Amino acid sequence: MTKRIDDLQLDGLKIMQEEGGYGFTSDAVLLANFVKTKKSDICAEVGTGSGVISILVYHKEKPKKIYAFEIQPNVAKLAKENIKLNKMQKNIEILPQKVQNWRDFLDFGSLDVVFCNPPYFKYDNNVCGQNEEKQASRFDKYLPLCDLFDSCAKMLKSGGKMFFVYSSSRLFECFYEMKKVHLAPKRIYFVHPNQSKDSTVFLCEAVKDGKDGIVIMPPLFTNNLDGDYIQTIQKLYKGE
């Protein structure tokens, strides 16, 4: 498959993507700017895809290390190429494996931060018309919510943080699964296509063994009523 290299328009960063493959979306950019780390933090990304979120997080936050899981071998290979392209091999390690096998790479409670832009939609046997890569990226066939939160909670140390973006329609399911593994939601942004439409996704910061209490941040609108990308989102991308 033909590959192209796109300029991320941020300090010379670039990303290689396959023509016709599943590319990253604005949700990935929003999550990358939502994640906060310290320079001493050991982090993991679940389902890194092309590696763009880990690349942006490392560029902006400079954590000590990011382990990036990716279950699809060809996509993991692409992510490795992108890490090399941006000269981040010492800081980001691609793990070509499903996150459910985290014990093969990491110790229990060894991470400070986990971040994730997982598949939003429930998988069933009627899903068709898409190649395997797009199915794995869009549907939770290989990463149901229960596995996602269970794995992340076990990798995180007590007080560690999880940042993720997910479909607003599945908010209740997320909170239900998080409560079972002692992940407490602490901060939430609801993201809307514009001021007149319902929220499509939400950004959440959760803390392992955290206390009760959630802060609902002001809504985030990605477009104005004319459909134009809002300037505040562009500023957010550039870290202004």
Segment among 78-92, 129-143, 179-193 with least mean pLDDT: 129-143
Q: Mean per-residue pLDDT for 81-95?
A: 97
Residue 33 to residue 45: CA distance in whole angstroms: 14
- Axis-axis angle for helices 73-85, 52-61 (nearest 10): 30
Question: Mean of the pLDDT values across residues 36-50?
Answer: 96
* Domains of the chain, earliest start first: 22-163+170-183 (3.40.50.150)
pLDDT for 192 beyond 80: yes
Compute the chain's Rg from CA coordinates. 17
Looking at residue 150, its amino acid is D
Predicted confidence at residue 118, as pLDDT, reads 92
| Confidence at 42, pLDDT banded by 50, 70, 90 | very high
Mean of pLDDT values over 160-176: 96
What percentage of the chain carries pLDDT values higher than 70? Answer: 82
Contact at 8 Å (CB) between 166 and 204? yes
pLDDT at position 239 is 58
> What integer best gives the mean pLDDT of the chain?
88
The verdict on pTM exceeding 0.95 is: no
For residue 9, count CB atoms less than 10 angstroms from its CB and return exposed for 0-12, middle for 13-18, buried for 19 or more: exposed
pLDDT for residue 17: 84
Higher pLDDT, 139 or 11: 11
Give the amino acid at 123: Y
